[in-house]
Structure 1
């Protein structure tokens, strides 16, 4: 028994029931909510993953994701958007909100189950890192007044904490771990996003832009090499 609890949030009841049935066959414990309002009235902290539609009622999936990511108790819960909004801009917007994956409707149940397994596997791996003590040398990377703590998933700039979504944190950690190396967009996608998930290259550019704006004076250390990619240069 996998014993992971998943919440499916979608205003299409038939789709909710279909996803619940198939995910339960895989050994997951699954609850459903037919609106973001209903979901937000539940204790979301008990779930290992939320499958979330975008276009729903008065509170959209975008809004629900923002609410979750703004709550320290819920911010670490992985979110997969399952939606008919399938443009590149929609996908970028969803991933930029901190979602772990973005699946466009119509989709196959087999594909959804594979994505769920992948995201939960990644989340479990991250949880094992968090158990390491902050005194572990491998948990900290520093550059002058910039510090990353992988155990606490915490970034500080000159003593002030800067909140970074998971993907931004992982990209920054990768660049600081390999100062002087230029990573192509393809390398970022392969290392930060699972290989089986289709993510457009523009997502890398969006996250780099946001990182630069959040890191203050250190943002200028993230350099662009036209035609190649990005990296951290002292």
Structure 2
């Protein structure tokens, strides 16, 4: 199962995720974009190639092509390699509000976002502190996803209806045994994602709340339109009232 029972729609107890492809019990992958996201000990990159797995169904062809293109951009794939990636798929559709992970759970499940939006947050004195948003073509992985699975320190929740690819460690190893070059692709994914992660982390830590907001306007304008103001305010590190003042001040400058 993905996780244990939760107050919201739960990815395991309600089984609201519909599987397109082979079912799996445990999954692995890599996220993008927030300081609390961390991967250690090259153990993780062996999971990443498998997360590129895509669906078999004809009606999933656009998504399949999307994932193959993603990996082909890193390293040109042979026909056999592309087919192997496509044939080892676990893809699930999750309704808005589905909780994928909660603090304290033991889970090595990770995701690659094909469509939709996943939010990561932690509870601090009972208040949600938004840590990141993961949209299309971004990897989502727990801070504690290492060879030794530890309790999660954050929550993941689908803020929109989402289509996610789910990987499996055992299947990844089988895939690499048959197609060793895909292990190189997995390493390249890890390196690219960490570069993006480091850049985002540095920019976020060094910026003021207003600069963070301006950067979102520049780099992810769609995100500002898709999330509630309180989540946006939490993400840039201010109260909703302060976000309103930032917006007003920027508007007056125009």
TM-score (norm 2): 0.29
Q: Report which structure shows greater RCO (CA 8 Å, sep ≥6).
A: 2
